[in-house]
Chains A and B, each alone.
Chain A
C-alpha cells in the first residue's frame, strides 16, 4: 500500500477541447510502476491508440514528477517526460533535474498528460489543485531563455510569488524539430528522442507551476536518518572536482581515454589531442576564466551546474550556462575542434533554440564527414564549407539548425532525417542508433553501452543499462567464449530503471557512490521494492509500447563503426570489436523474450504483475 511520495492525482489536459481534468491514480499502477518511464509508458499505453503519428493530436505527451521529488531525498530531484518519438516511432522517455518536478507535486499533481491540439499557442498555469490554459501568442517564437524570463516575470507579478517553475520548448520544438529538447528552469534539459516536438505540435509553449502543498513521506525519520548517513559518506568520498566543475571535468580524460567520440567515432582521441589541449576542453579550465555562480538541482548536495560570463575569445556571448560533459564532447573531439569557445557557444545556441546538444553535435559531425567525403557540397549547406576542426563552420551550420532557415530546415531534424532528405548521401557516416545520436561514451570502452545504445527501446542513451568497463571484464572477452552477460545486464538495467522511476540522479552514484534509490523509494513510499521484478516490468512496459507500434529486432539499427567494425587502431580500445548482437540476445533471453523479434513471451509478462492486458495484446506464446 502506498503511504507517501505521491499526491494521488494527475492532470489530463485536452488541448483540442480546452479542458483540464483531474484524475485519481489507480493505486496498483503506483505500486507496480512507481514513476518515471515505467509509469509513463503504462499511461501512454492506456491513453494512446496505436499507430498514430507522434505529432498527431491523438498522440499524448506526459510529464511525470517522481516519488522522491520534493521529499528532500538526496539526488531525488529529477522528473521524466514521455511520448511517442518522432524519430523512432516507438516509446520515448527523457528526464531532467532542476525544480519543476518537485513544484508540480507541491501543486498537487504527480503527473500531467497533454493530448489534442490547440488552435493557438498556449501555456499552462498550474497552481494548487488548479490548471488554466492561457494564451502564449506573445512568447511563441521567442527563444527559450527569453520566453521563460518573460512568462516567469508575468506570472510572479500576477500571483505575487517568487520562484515559479517552468518547463517548455524553444523555437525548434515549435517547428517540430526531431531533435527538439524540453527545457526547464532555464538551464535544465530533457533533451533526447524528440519529445519536445510532440509538445510543440500541441501548441504548448510552456508549463508554469507553483504550489504550496506538503508532500507526504511514509517514513520521514528513516529518510532523515539515511540522509545523514549518505552525507557522512559523501564527505569521505572525493567529490570536490565534481562539485566545482560539474560533469565537464571528465572531458579531458574521456577524450584522451577514447570514451568521448573523436572525429565522429572514427578515430583515437590521443592521436589528435595532447593532454594540454584536452585539459583546455575540461570545465576546470573554462571555470577559471568564466564561472560566476554555481547552480544545483533540488535536493542535490553537489551542485554540478554553473553560470558563465564569457567576454573574450571567439564568441563573447556574455552570461550563459556552463556546458555539461556531453555537450563539450559533442562539439569538441567529435568534430576535432580544440577551442572551448565553440562548445560553450554551441551550448548556448542549443539551449535557446531548445535543441538536444548530443544530437545536434552528432548531426554536425555527420555533415562534416559527409562533406569531407564529397557526399555533401556547399549546395547542401548554404555555402558553408564544413571541415574537421573548423569550429566557425560548425557554428554556422548549428545556427541554421537552430533557426530552421535555409539548409537548417533539413538539418534541424537530426542526422537520419537530413541524410534521408539529401538522398541518403553519406549514409555510411551516420553514427546513429535507430536514428538517435548516441551519448558521448564509447561502447568500445563500455560494451554494456553498446547493448543499451542499440537494443533499448529508447536507443542511443548512455543512462540506460550498462555493465561496466570493458577493461575490467576479462579483457574484451564478451564473445561466444566470454562471460554470459545476460543476467548481469538485466540486474544492472533493473537498477537504472528504478533510478529513473524514482527521480534519482545518476551522478549520486557515479560521483558520490550512492546507489540508494531502492532504500529511498521504500522510505518515501512505504512500498517494498522487488528490484528483480520491478526492473523487467519497467523495461518490458517501455518495450511493449514500441512492440505495439510494430517495432521488432530487425528495426533496431546501428553503424558497425560504433561497435568496432572495423576496430580502431591504437589507443585503449585498439582492436576492440563489441559483439553487440550477442549482448542483445543474452539480455533479451534473460528477460524472457523471443530471439526472432526481441518481443516478450506472454508468460514472461504475466509473471511480473500489472501487465496481463499487455500480455494479451502483444505477448508471444512460448514455443
Chain B
C-alpha cells in the first residue's frame, strides 16, 4: 500500500475532500499513476510551486511526476510553499 498526503490544506485547494489517500497498488508504482487516480481538475489554479517529499527527499512536482517511483509502504507528501512572511 502507498499513500499520498497533502499538507496545509492543499487538498481543499485541489478540490479534494480528504488530506490523505491510500492505494493498494503493486509497488513500486509511479507517482504519476497515483496522482492521476485522484482526478484533480484544477491543478492549473495552483499558482505557487508544488513539491513532493518521499523517502526523506524533496523533489519539484514536475520531477516527481517524471521520475518518482513510490516503494511499498511509503507515504508521499505533496505540499506547496505558500508564502510565510
Contact = CB atoms under 8 A, between A and B. Distances in A.
Interface of A: 238, 240-242, 247, 249-254, 256-260, 268-271, 274-275, 279, 282, 284, 324-326, 329, 440-441, 445, 462, 469, 471-472, 506-507, 510-511, 570-572
Nearest to B57: A270
A329 B77 CA distance: 20
B60 to A, nearest CB: 5
Contact of A441 (B75, B77, B84): B84
Contacts of B7: 252-253, 256, 275, 279
B53 interface: yes
A471 B47 CA distance: 12
B13 A253 contact: no
A142 B16 CA distance: 51
Contacts of A271: 56
B85 A510 contact: yes
B42 to A, nearest CB: 11
14 contacts: A247-B83, A252-B8, A253-B8, A254-B84, A256-B7, A257-B79, A260-B84, A282-B8, A325-B83, A325-B84, A325-B85, A445-B49, A469-B81, A570-B57
B53 A270 contact: yes
Given A250-B83, A471-B62, A571-B58, 17 more contacts: A240-B9, A249-B82, A250-B81, A250-B85, A253-B8, A253-B79, A256-B58, A260-B84, A275-B75, A282-B8, A325-B83, A325-B84, A326-B84, A326-B85, A471-B60, A507-B83, A511-B82
Contacts of A471: 49, 60, 62
B59 interface: yes
B79 A252 contact: yes
Given A241-B8, A249-B8, A250-B8, A510 B83 contact: yes
A257 B5 CA distance: 15
A469 B83 contact: no
Interface of B is mostly: mixed
Interface residues of B, number: 25
A437 B53 CA distance: 28
Q: Which of A241, A253, A269 has the most CB of B within 10 A?
A: A253
A310 to B, nearest CB: 22
B21 interface: no
B56 to A, nearest CB: 6
Contacts of A511: 82-83
Nearest to A269: B58
B48 to A, nearest CB: 7
A331 to B, nearest CB: 14
Interface string B26-46: 000000000000000000000
B65 interface: no
A329 B81 CA distance: 13
Interface of B: 5, 7-9, 12-13, 48-49, 51, 53, 56-60, 62, 75, 77, 79-85
Contacts of B79: 252-253, 256-257
A284 B82 CA distance: 14
Please provide the 3 A-B residue pairs with the shortest distance between their CB atoms, ordered closest to farther. Answer: A325-B84, A247-B85, A510-B83
Contact of A469 (B5, B49, B56, B58): B49
A256 B77 contact: yes
Nearest to A273: B56
B26 to A, nearest CB: 24
Contacts of A469: 48-49, 81
Nearest to A237: B13
Nearest to B51: A257
A253 B51 contact: yes
Contacts of A251: 84
Given A254-B81, A511-B82, A241 B75 contact: no
A340 to B, nearest CB: 16
Contacts of B62: 471
B44 to A, nearest CB: 13
A247 B75 contact: no
Contacts of B77: 256, 275
Nearest to A252: B7
Given A252-B7, A252-B8, A279-B7, A257 B58 contact: yes
Q: Which of A260, A271, A275, A462 has the most CB of B within 10 A?
A: A275
A228 B40 CA distance: 31
A239 B3 CA distance: 26
A242 B9 CA distance: 10
Nearest to A247: B85
B77 to A, nearest CB: 4
A238 B81 contact: no
A329 B12 contact: no
A242 B48 CA distance: 15
A371 to B, nearest CB: 27
Given A238-B12, A572-B59, A507 B85 contact: yes
A16 B56 CA distance: 60
Nearest to A511: B83
A284 B51 CA distance: 20
A398 B84 CA distance: 23
Contact of B51 (A256, A268, A274, A462): A256
A279 B9 CA distance: 12
